[in-house]
Amino acid sequence: MYFASFPEDYQIDAKSLIWKWVAEHLVPDEITGKECLEELFQRSMILVSTRSYDDSIKQYGVHDLLRELAIEKAKDNNFFGLFSNNNVDATFSDARRVSFQSCNLTENNNYGSSNKKLCSLFIFGESLSDYSGFRMLKVLQLHNCDLRSQANNWFKELIQLRYLEFNYCQIAEKEIPEEICHMQNLQTLNCDYYSSIKLPESMWSIKTLRHVSIICIEALPPPSADLTFANLQTLRDVRLKHTQGELYSFPSLCELGLEQLTSDKNWDPIISLLRNKTLQKLVDLSIEGGYLPLDVVDMRRFIFFKHLQCLKFYCIWEVNLSAQFFPSCLSKLILIWCRFTEDPMPELGKLQNLKILKLLYEVYSGEQMTCPAGGFPQLRKLIIRDQDNVKDLNIEEGTLSMLKNLKISLLDLRRIPDLQHLTKLEEFIWYHAPFSNKKIEMMRQENQHKLNHIRSVIILNFEPNLQKK
């Protein structure tokens, strides 16, 4: 019935949904939430778009017929009230959960005073003028709303709020107001915005914070004895200025995303945080920026993250790549714009537990890539795109023995790789093949011995306008 809260054809982020469920006590923890979603998938009730490195559901949609059924069941059980296209659900005044979808809210700006029991509110489009009446609200999601003209008093009133999400909303001064510190039960702050937003230091006084996902400047205050992040599990898309990152305490942090300030070439804040000895539970790490002057000592720091499974780099390296830089448990690796001068595949092939590898946008400046025999023993998914100089992708016999999905987008590649040895390969996609349609068809016929065992083969001289995964 919770699916009734989202618009038609809306792609639902599984992690955010589970955080909402936890905030409402619909599930006891995130592990149970993942199990519930997986059960819905097994029953063919959701359409999974992407899965994460641990094979858990990452993003999914709902079939239109099932969504309509969810709406009807939600109405019958007074689980959800729905405003859609200016048609008001008759049960809205008593529903504990309400979703506004494509509505003109001018006539409903006093809605807060009419429903004191409301615990979850979803608004897609025009915003209400005041949220202060929702004293019992636990979940608030605002999508594409203009909040610039609103007073900040309603932040003080929502003392029961546990989940707060802004998606592509316009916020006054591009700053979360100081009044957020009154939300002392807040567990999740999730903000997907066009540019960076500044967070007030007072926000970090909220001891219940578990997940903070927001692009921001100076996200963390300077380290101090009074500053603790005991419950913080997710800290995504943050930009740092302080160079004492090793002094912070993150005993529960599992997911960390760091960005360099675009106007600052000083990487000391990020490097100092990576040297933090309390990051023992870190599972997912993302580092994005420009030029990364890490020396070998800095790179070997990653092997101390004993539980790290997912690692993303978006930056130029000045050191030669080595498999010894990475922890043995690593299962997903994304490299973007690294500009290696030597073929990275021989070293990456030594990562015994790697299941997903993505090489995106000028990772390698050479002309030939070689997946060596015996390499990549556990790799399931390989994506190589926008390596402008690569003319030959050489796949030796005995490599990539478990590969299921291979997707490449290489403008200068001259031939179909030797795929006949990849007996478990189910999907091969080659976009931007540098040939005419006629030439592509001829090439497919000439290379049938490489392709016959593959269930799905797509070779195009363009890339369809689809979401890149």
* Least confident residue range of 41-45, 104-108, 115-119, 198-202: 104-108
Q: Is the pLDDT of residue 467 over 50?
A: no
Q: In this structure, what token pair is assigned to residue 454?
A: 């593959």
pLDDT in tens, 390-421: 999 999 999 999 999 999 999 999 999 999 99
This prediction has a pTM of 0.88
Q: Say what the pLDDT of residue 90 is.
A: 45
* Least confident residue range of 103-112, 190-199, 390-399: 103-112
pLDDT band at 466 (very low <50, low <70, confident <90, very high): low
- Average pLDDT of the chain, as a whole number: 86
**Nearest CA among 396, 456, 449 for reference residue 425:** 456
More confident residue, 181 or 315: 181
Q: Is the pLDDT of residue 445 over 60?
A: yes
pLDDT in tens, 205-257: 899 999 998 877 667 888 887 788 999 999 988 877 777 888 889 999 999 99
Classify residue 386 as left (phi > 0), alpha (psi -120 to 50) or beta.
left
**Nearest CA among 157, 167, 171 for reference residue 189:** 167
**What 3 state SS string does the chain have?**
CHHHHCCCCCCEEHHHHHHHHHHCCCCCCHHHHHHHHHHHHHCCCCEEEEECCCCCEEEEECCHHHHHHHHHHHHHCCCCEEEECCEECCCCCCCCEEEEECCCHHHHCCHHHHCCCCCEEEEECCCCCCCCCCCCCCEEEEECCECCCCCCHHHHHCCCCCEEEEECCECHHHECCHHHHHCCCCCEEEEECCCCEECCHHHHHCCCCCEEEEEEECCCCCCCCCCCCCCCCEEEEEECCCCCHHHCCCCCCCEEEEECCCCCCCCHHHHHHHCCCCCCCCCEEEEEEEEECCCHHHHHHHHHCCCCCEEEEEEEECCCCCHHHCCCCCCEEEEECCCECCCCHHHHCCCCCCCEEEEECCCECCCEEEECCCCCCCCCEEEEECCCCCCEEEECCCCCCCCCEEEEECCCCCCCCCCCCCCCCCEEEEECCCCCHHHHHHHHHHCHHHHCCCCEEEECCCCCCCCCC
pLDDT band at 456 (very low <50, low <70, confident <90, very high): very high
Query: What value does the mean pLDDT take over residues 332-337?
Result: 94
pLDDT in tens, 267-282: 778 878 888 889 989 9
Q: Say what the pLDDT of residue 234 is.
A: 96
Q: Say what the pLDDT of residue 349 is.
A: 97
pLDDT band at 107 (very low <50, low <70, confident <90, very high): low
pLDDT band at 174 (very low <50, low <70, confident <90, very high): confident
pLDDT in tens, 12-70: 999 999 999 999 999 999 999 999 999 999 999 999 999 988 889 999 999 988 888 88
Query: What value does the mean pLDDT take over residues 119-129?
Result: 80
Q: Say what the pLDDT of residue 428 is.
A: 98
Evaluated on CA atoms 332, 335, 341, 343, the torsion sign reads positive
Q: Say what the pLDDT of residue 412 is.
A: 93
Q: In this structure, what token pair is assigned to residue 376?
A: 């990549």
Q: In this structure, what token pair is assigned to residue 31?
A: 């592990």
Q: Say what the pLDDT of residue 150 is.
A: 66
Partners of 99 in the beta sheet?
82, 122
pLDDT in tens, 233-244: 999 888 777 778
pLDDT band at 296 (very low <50, low <70, confident <90, very high): very low
Tokens 């819905």: give the residue: 40
Q: Which domains does the chain have, with CATH numbers?
A: 1-217 (3.80.10.10)
Q: Is the pLDDT of residue 112 over 60?
A: no
